[in-house]
Structure 1
């Protein structure tokens, strides 16, 4: 892990720890998630053979969503309060404190990684190394699903918790290809009152 990534991880951990209860109340239940996202993640996961990692799992709702559909899934997050909440609410699902940059897992051991809005705080210098870390964890042919804010590549903005960054689908696709992935499909949408959303499904090559 680079010094820059350690600094980003520390900032994200401290910022979310300070607002973990508020975040969980607002965005910690699967019923609060968009139905389009639920279907997107369900269909993506159903094509995976092997273990799935929910990287940056937050309060654990997406991890539990996948576990309830029969997937062998584990959730990791930098924020101990999130992990404690997730473990308490979903005791049948494994959770632990870790990061995508330093997951404590064997290379090539995963069939899929869900990174749903979990790399949005990495700046343009650090994001390639995070995507490369995801590639190392996946076996060849493994699946990655990224959710992020759609916009000008690397442009920072004042996220409610701590600074985040926009990426275009083309820009993120180029970064994924540079990290050893091939994009399968993408989707984007905008709702009034929300920042534009995008996601990309990719395969490790």
Structure 2
């Protein structure tokens, strides 16, 4: 990674909003069958139930207050959460004390090579600048076992947008909107094979903005 200064405002912003964000999104999945179905598919692949051999735990990277991590655990995964924000990790640990959550960055995961059987990154790579994303995807490739699934969810668009206010709080956040074709190309270069691309038209998220699910597998 060439310059990680962009992580500082992201970390501090999510620390600041952590408690309110947790309260707002704790029950998000209950009313989102599309999200649940994508997570269920990912969990089946990461667990080895689909005919692959699972080896090691699964990471939910950018876990926020832990609700996605908890859903994946309900699907039978040995899963833990990672988040850049200590405030978010504190909320996740309070919400789900039976689960494991750790402070960390996707720019340098504190896990050995080929140690994870799956990695989920929902609405978290959106904070990584374009020039840094290939390095993050290479890091995901490093920690996954061959054949392991990687799932990304991100808002679609052609240019980044800076937010000074979000969820009723003052923040300093940049969201990097991308096209699935561009991310697919980066994933291929990083050693992944994309097996499913889904464009989502959310009806219960404001503002309504197209999002893309990319499900890939480590090629080697």
Work out whether residues 200 and 213 of structure 2, in 8 Å CA contact, stay in contact via their aligned partners in 1. no
What is residue 217 of structure 2 aligned with on the other side? 203
The question of 1:121 aligning with 2:127 is answered yes
- Cα offset for 1:33? 5.6
Alignment partners' CA distance in 1, 2:78 and 2:155: 28
Alignment partners' CA distance in 1, 2:154 and 2:81: 18
Work out whether residues 30 and 62 of structure 1, in 8 Å CA contact, stay in contact via their aligned partners in 2. no
What is residue 85 of structure 1 aligned with on the other side? 91
What is residue 47 of structure 1 aligned with on the other side? 45
What is the TM-score with the length of structure 1 in the denominator?
0.92
- Cα offset for 1:34? 2.0
Q: Map 1:1-205 to 2 at 5 A.
A: 2-4=1-3, 6-31=4-29, 34-48=32-46, 49-50=54-55, 51-152=57-158, 155-159=159-163, 160=166, 161=171, 162-191=173-202, 193-205=207-219
Look up the SS of the partner of 2:36 in the other structure: helix
Unaligned 5+ segments in structure 2 are 47-53
Q: Any idea what the Cα deviations from partners look like across 1:150-182, whole Å, max 9, x if unmatched?
A: 122xx1013435111111111110011111111
Work out whether residues 151 and 216 of structure 2, in 8 Å CA contact, stay in contact via their aligned partners in 1. yes
1:32–1:18 CA distance, 2 compared to 1 (3 A): farther
RMSD: 1.5
Work out whether residues 83 and 95 of structure 1, in 8 Å CA contact, stay in contact via their aligned partners in 2. yes
Alignment partners' CA distance in 1, 2:29 and 2:36: 9
What is the TM-score with the length of structure 2 in the denominator?
0.86
Alignment partners' CA distance in 1, 2:214 and 2:21: 24
Unaligned 5+ segments in structure 1 are none
Work out whether residues 55 and 113 of structure 1, in 8 Å CA contact, stay in contact via their aligned partners in 2. yes
